[in-house]
Amino acid sequence: MTPPPGSAPNSLTVVAAAGLLGVLLGPLLRRQVLRCTSSAGPRAGLVAAVGAVVFAALAARVDGVLPLLGYLWLAGFGIVLGFVDVAVRRLPDRLTLPAAAGLAGLLGAASATSDQFARYAVAAACALALAVGYAGLVLLSPAGLGPGDAKLALGLGFATGWYGWSTTLTGALAGLLLASGYAAVLLRLGRIGRHDHLPHGPAMLTGTLGAVLLTA
């Protein structure tokens, strides 16, 4: 699904402002990571750099004020979730659920102000389908995936579903391939065993980001 006719890329000013916002939010995002982990956490500069790159990339591709705010909202939570999952192998409900709810609400407002109700319905259907799909994978492979992955999938499904079913499929497959490739490399190097649990959230988030940037 393509953006409405007449949409145009955001200006360099908007992209730069989004990147600056990512930098400014770096300390806040890092504090949220520390609240969910018992480790020293990532360096503040690393979090700020990731925020700057992700926010600027989304601002360069996502059209419309409300949709962009929604994607930046999800990205902020996603950055925290990625670092938390790496540190403690867990995706807390207090992060995954607000991430999905905020994006759903902002995309809903965008659809209401631009008569794109059908587009929103597709996004909601994609979100539900992806969450159910991951819930099924959790049941099939409880050692490899957890309930947090299925809850994260709800928000990621909204993000990709706004651009259609094909984008959701692309994002989901990219996430699975990234996670599988990473696990295969670690197995080959002898860093992990076949029954070790690896964080799947970062791969899901990266796959979603790539699919959105390629489609938007």
Cα 49–chain centre separation: 17
In tens, the pLDDT along 71-107 reads 999 999 999 999 999 999 999 999 999 999 999 999 9
Is the pLDDT at 3 greater than 60? The verdict is no
Place of tokens 């360099």: 12
* HEC profile of the chain: CCCCCCCCCCCHHHHHHHHHHHHHCHHHHHHHHHHHCCCCCCCHHHHHHHHHHHHHHHHHHCCCHHHHHHHHHHHHHHHHHHHHHHHHCCCCHHHHHHHHHHHHHHHHHHHHHHCCHHHHHHHHHHHHHHHHHHHHHHHHCCCCCCHHHHHHHHHHHHHHHCCCHHHHHHHHHHHHHHHHHHHHHHHHHCCCCCCCCCCCHHHHHHHHHHHHHHHC
pLDDT in tens, 135-177: 999 888 776 788 999 999 999 999 999 999 999 999 999 999 9
Percentage of residues in the chain having pLDDT higher than 70: 93
Q: Supply the pTM of this predicted model.
A: 0.91
